[in-house]
Amino acid sequence: MTGRPSPSISSRKQPKQARATDLVAAILQAAVQVLEKEGAQRFTTTRVAEKAGVSVGSLYQYFPNKAALLFRLQSDEWQQTTDLLCRILQEVEKPPLERLRVLVHAFVRSECEEAAVRGALDDAAPLYRDAPEAQAARASAQRTVEIFMQETLPEAPDATRALAGDLVITMLSAAGREFSASPRMPAEIETYSDAIADMFCAYLRSLGHRA
């Protein structure tokens, strides 16, 4: 799917008043809870409306169907992940590898805390990955990583920096998804995050990073 989301997955309208904003927030919170409990296959607008304590008609004012609701949850997840990455990597008062270590810990912890929702959304992600929201999130993250790698590896060739950025983000995403597939204790998360961060830092040092 390319271009803007089709009407079937676009929100029907945007809330303009405080009460409407609160209603949409309640619907989205209920949707997350239903998704965690039921999974994507048993996720329905009726269950979400019941959980939120609103009528299905009220829900349909903002989300015309199940696909639109899932798309909003998916879009919010993309934005949250992108904001996390950008906020941490742009803290220029900290040394680059310290920022990278903080990012790894925050990302893995987030993956574990929201594993149920993320896992369910993964089933729907292929339907939306080419939507403008997904493209914007990827572009923002990619630009932040490019700037970070320019700072971290100023003397490396462009191709080397590009490969390093792609490997770090791809491997972090894959490792976080795999690790969070099972329930984890805080100590496990800490140990695993340290190991990944150590590998990434060693890799960037091997490419020429100097503290």
Q: Which of 203, 102, 189 is nearest to 160 (CA)?
A: 203
**Segment 141-189, tens digit of pLDDT:** 999 999 999 999 999 999 999 999 999 999 999 999 999 989 999 999 9
User: Helix, strand, or coil here: 44?
Assistant: coil
| CA–CA distances in Å: residue 150 to residues 97, 102, 154, 210 | 13, 19, 5, 13
**How is domain 70-210 classified at the CATH fold level?**
Tetracycline Repressor; domain 2 (1.10.357)
**Segment 192-202, tens digit of pLDDT:** 999 999 999 99
List, in sequence order, the alpha helices (H) in the chain: 18-38, 45-52, 56-60, 66-89, 96-113, 115-128, 132-152, 158-179, 186-206
- Give residue 18's Cα distance to chain centre: 27
In the chain, domain spans: 9-64, 70-210
* C-alpha atoms less than 13 angstroms from C-alpha of 77 in its C-beta half-sphere: 25
**Looking at the domain covering 9-64, what would its CATH class be?**
mainly alpha
**Segment 9-62, tens digit of pLDDT:** 555 556 566 778 889 999 999 998 998 888 777 889 999 999 999 999 999 999
Task: Look up residue 36 and give its two tokens.
Answer: 């965690």
What is the Cα–Cα distance from 80 to 110, expressed in whole angstroms? 10
Task: Please report where in the chains the tokens 């390093």 appear, as a residue.
Answer: 164
- Give residue 104's Cα distance to chain centre: 13
What is the Cα–Cα distance from 35 to 39, expressed in whole angstroms? 5
What is the Cα–Cα distance from 203 to 29, expressed in whole angstroms? 40
Q: Which of 207, 200, 202 is nearest to 89 (CA)?
A: 200
Under DSSP, the state recorded for 209 is -
* pTM for this predicted structure: 0.80
Task: Look up residue 205 and give its two tokens.
Answer: 């040092």
Residue 2 has pLDDT above 50, yes or no: no
